[in-house]
Amino acid sequence: MGNSQPALIIPALIENWQAVRARILQCASNCGRNPDEIHLLAVSKTFPPAAIAALAQAGQTSFGENYVQEALQKILELKSIEPALIWHFIGPLQRNKTRSIAEHFDWIQSLDRFELAQRLSTQRPLALPALQCCIQVNISAEPQKNGVSPQALLVLAEQLQKLPRLRLRGLMAVPSATATPAELQASFEHLNQLFQTLRERYGSSIDTLSMGMSADLEAAVAAGSTLVRVGTAIFGAR
């Protein structure tokens, strides 16, 4: 039984991935957006390297991970097989994990503290390009949630300009899981306003508005998302 499992799972995985791509095309078309402006990040946390390799072979290049230890094993294992993959760290950022992130990821989307940004910049190896960053915004103002407040965002964005090995690309948010559709829509629109403010200030290098997950990617794309982070709809329940 065990040996036949991957052969059964992988076609379903590719089908799921194609269905998510079709959803993105459909909602881009519904709201008159160019689908090329909407990137798909496959959130592979808790799923094995074989699943990532199968998607990579089908054409998926960007993968998101939340847990540093788990991610490092996968990144190192896949490096020789799929050297062109782009890895995004999207989990809570801890002080003792900054070096591993700086050395092994291409992006961090969960930046919310200048002190940790400084560490990442210092620890980013010179042989690698700058670490691409999104600031995480606590858009639903949940007390226990990661992310900066909208009020603190511009201060942090300005501080990041001074760090030579980091490059600010935009914003990321995870709205409240209990938001009503109307609250969700309002959160996405608010994040887009903050993104536009950042673009006015720093220009077109700010090009990434990371919002939308398996259950709400349509609403996020309608509100201007340029990157949706999809786990469950591709890989199944965790």
CB neighbours of residue 198 within 10 Å: 21
Q: Does 214 bind ligand PLP (CB under 6 A)?
A: yes
Phi/psi zone of residue 145: left (φ > 0), alpha (ψ -120 to 50 degrees), beta?
beta
**By CB under 6 A, which span of 7-15, 26-34, 67-75, 211-219 interacts with ligand PLP?**
211-219
Contact 211, 191 (CB under 8 A): yes
Number of residues forming the site for ligand PLP (CB under 6 A): 13
Contact 181, 219 (CB under 8 A): yes
Q: How far is the CB of 174 from ligand PLP (least distance, A)?
A: 5
Closer to ligand PLP by CB, 156 or 220: give it: 220
Please tell me what DSSP assigns to residue 173: -
The H or E element that residue 132 is part of is strand 131-136
Six token digits for residue 126: 């010179």
Q: How far is the CB of 215 from ligand PLP (least distance, A)?
A: 6
Site string for ligand PLP, 48-67 (x = CB under 6 A): ------------------x-
Closer to ligand PLP by CB, 42 or 157: give it: 42
Closer to ligand PLP by CB, 43 or 85: give it: 43
Q: Does 90 bind ligand PLP (CB under 6 A)?
A: yes
How many angstroms separate the CA atoms of 155 and 198, rounded?
11
Could you tell me the sign of the dihedral formed by the alpha carbons of 189, 186, 225, 34, in that order?
negative
How many angstroms separate the CA atoms of 208 and 27, rounded?
18
Q: How far is the CB of 71 from ligand PLP (least distance, A)?
A: 12
Closer to ligand PLP by CB, 41 or 81: give it: 41
Q: Does 74 bind ligand PLP (CB under 6 A)?
A: no
Q: Does 230 bind ligand PLP (CB under 6 A)?
A: yes
Backbone angles phi, psi at 110, to 5 degrees: -110, 35
Instruction: Give residues in contact with ligand PLP (CB under 6 A).
Output: 43, 45, 66, 90, 174, 213-215, 229-233
